[in-house]
Amino acid sequence: MTQHSCACGYQADSTEDLIDHLGEMFIPPDDIAPDGQAHSEAARAEAATGPLTCRCGYTADIADFDRHLLNIFTPGDEVGLDGARHAPA
C-alpha cells in the first residue's frame, strides 16, 4: 500500500484524499489565486460526468482539474492558510 503523507504530518489514505487536504490548506474561501483570478469549478448544466470547467476557462477531466487548482494555488513556499508547510512527503 502506498503512503500518502503530507509534510505537516497529515496521513491521507489515498491520492485523492491528499489532494483534497492540500486544496483545503491552499485554496482561500474567495477562490482567488495568486494570479488575481478566481479558480473553482464553474456551474455545470449537464450531467456530473463530463469534463469540468474552471472559472478561468480551463477545461479538464476531474483528476487534471484538481491538479490545475493545486498548481495555481500552491504558493512557492508551500505554506498553507494555517501557516504550516504542506507538500506530498
Q: Which residues bind Zn ion (CB under 5 A)?
A: 6, 8, 10, 39, 54, 56, 58, 86
Is the CB of 9 or the CB of 49 nearer to Zn ion? Answer: 9
CB of 40 to Zn ion, least distance (A): 8
Cβ atoms < 10 Å from Cβ of 34 = 12
Q: Which is nearer to Zn ion, 27 or 54 (CB)?
A: 54
Q: How near is the Cβ of 1 to Zn ion at its closest, in Å?
A: 20
Q: Give min distance, CB of 81 to Zn ion, in A.
A: 11
Q: What angle do CA 44, 15, 37 make, to 5 degrees?
A: 45
Rounded CA separation 51/46 (Å): 10
Task: Compare residues 4 and 39 and give the one whose CB is closer to Zn ion.
Answer: 39
Amino acid identity, position 2: T
DSSP-derived 3-state class of residue 52: strand
